[in-house]
Amino acid sequence: VGSQVIAARRRHRPATSLAVLLVVLGALWVGAGPASAHGGLVESDPDDGSVVARAPSRVTLTFDGRVQLTAREVVVSDSGGLPVGSSTSTDGPEVVVTLTDPAALADGTYTVAWSVLSDDGHPQSGALRFSIGFASPTVTPPPTPGASSRLVTSTRDVVTALSLLGLLVAAGLALFTALVLPASWPGTDVRVRVRQLTTYAAGLGAAGVVLQVPIASVYAQEQELSSLASGFAAWLVGKEMLAAAVTVAGLGVIVTAATEGPPTRARSRWLAGGALLALCGPPLVGHSRSAVPTSLLLAADALHLAAGAIWIGGLLGLALALRALSGREVLAARTLARFSSLAGGVLVVVATTGAFQAWRIVGSWSSLVGTTYGWLLLTKVALVLGVAGLGAWNRWRLLPDVVSAAGFGDRRRAATAVTRTVRVEALVLGLAIGVTGFLVGQAPG
């Protein structure tokens, strides 16, 4: 037993993996441009507050990333609040408002009230003014655009948290069954329980990602939950629909391939393939696809999710498996050693890809400590560090006790301590995933 644990420790070289990842990220750090600011409107032509000699034929608004128009129109009005004829189009980060008849515009101040949806799914609105000839002494302000209520954002965050939890647990348990649980595992009841939990988690993940689509549509248009069905705008949530389809397909493969007996090699491949497919869904939406360098962020996000899934799936799988193993410490130690050989690398990958995303999305220390996004991220990191600390305690303090315990009673006591710690680790990691549900819905700026 001891030699298996030691062999697992030798196989695993966390220091080497960490060094390689740090070198790669260091190179990216030097090569990448500034982080995306998520500040919304960057500039306009004419400038906000400027006075121009002649009526412009169009007003151009430039944002800090790609934007989409929503059902809310961009409205140009005169100083008395009366609308002026215009049409609007977008081109990447630019919104162009073409004035229908600029020659007919009287001198005075005009207001452009705009509403757009940023590439990471956050609605933004505002207004700017320009004057022709002179600034009007009084200007009727445009109606203040109403944002979605807290009920909408809280529902969105809770649904995201549950769907991420379901997805990571289902994908993680599928990877645990395919990669960690020894084929010689005798306890069918453990496999039955793992399969049951995988199926429930897949159901939760699938229901969550599907429900996220109409909620994203409501949020994008700054509506309320009462418009969930009536206000559904498929053209605004194409990315969310694609992400949901990919995740549901992957989860479907997992549920179909899961068995109550030891999986064949082909089934193991289906389980792993389904898990990887399902995990490709979330990176298709959200902040990593609107920050730069986009392709690297997408890859980092996918790796982050895969490593996170292996971690939570491994802990839950162990929590289910170990309690069935009293009296079979050899098999228990082999399973734990297999997971341990993955766990160090998983931690390194999760931390480096998470730190990389955080750097590109948050962009500055002041945003890290001065925004809700930053504080949620710090809370998540604190929870993850807590799990890593518990994991280290388990591996280096409790596991050797199981191996070296002399009598049956001592071994059992030590094994119970290991199992209890694994359960607490799984619980705290689940909380960290829950916090992530709130994190991904928050505007970083």
CA distances from 445 to 10, 124, 155, 320, 361 (A): 44, 12, 21, 41, 9
Examine residue 288 and tell whether it contacts ligand HEM (CB under 6 A): yes
Binding mask 17-56 for ligand HEM (x = CB under 6 A): ----------------------------------------
Examine residue 338 and tell whether it contacts ligand HEM (CB under 6 A): no
CA distances from 323 to 77, 242, 406, 409 (A): 70, 40, 20, 15
Q: How many helices (H) and strands (E) does the chain have?
A: 12, 10
Query: Which residue's CB is nearer to ligand HEM, number 55 or number 350?
Result: 350
* Identified binder of ligand HEM from the candidate list 159, 350, 426, 435, rule CB under 6 A: 350
Q: Read out DSSP for 19-51? A: HHHHHHHHHHHHHS-PPP---SEEEEESPTTEE
Examine residue 436 and tell whether it contacts ligand HEM (CB under 6 A): yes
Stretch of 24-32, 127-135, 174-182, 433-441 contacting ligand HEM, by CB under 6 A? 433-441
For residues 204 and 187, the answer to whether their CB atoms sit within 8 Å is no
Residue 284 DSSP code: G
Examine residue 361 and tell whether it contacts ligand HEM (CB under 6 A): yes
* Identified binder of ligand HEM from the candidate list 304, 323, 338, 411, rule CB under 6 A: 304
* Identified binder of ligand HEM from the candidate list 166, 250, 283, 313, rule CB under 6 A: 283
Helix %, strand %, coil % of the chain (to 5): 65, 10, 25
Triad 374, 222, 41: Cα angle to 5° = 60
Shortest distance in whole angstroms from residue 269 CB to ligand HEM = 24
Binding mask 126-165 for ligand HEM (x = CB under 6 A): --------------------------------------x-
* Identified binder of ligand HEM from the candidate list 194, 204, 216, 312, rule CB under 6 A: 312
* Identified binder of ligand HEM from the candidate list 18, 22, 32, 355, rule CB under 6 A: 355
Query: Which residue's CB is nearer to ligand HEM, number 284 or number 414?
Result: 284
Count of chain residues binding ligand HEM (CB under 6 A): 30
What own/partner pairs with CB < 8 Å and gap ≥ 24 does 5-14 have? Answer: 5/333, 5/336, 5/337, 5/340, 5/399, 5/400, 5/403, 7/337, 8/337, 8/338, 8/340, 8/341, 9/340, 9/341, 11/341, 12/340, 12/341, 12/342, 12/344, 12/345, 14/344, 14/345, 14/347, 14/348
Binding mask 377-406 for ligand HEM (x = CB under 6 A): x--xx--x----------------------
For binding to ligand HEM (CB under 6 A), which residues are involved?
A: 164, 168, 282-283, 286-288, 301, 304-305, 308, 311-312, 350-351, 354-355, 357-358, 361, 377, 380-381, 384, 429, 432-433, 436, 439-440
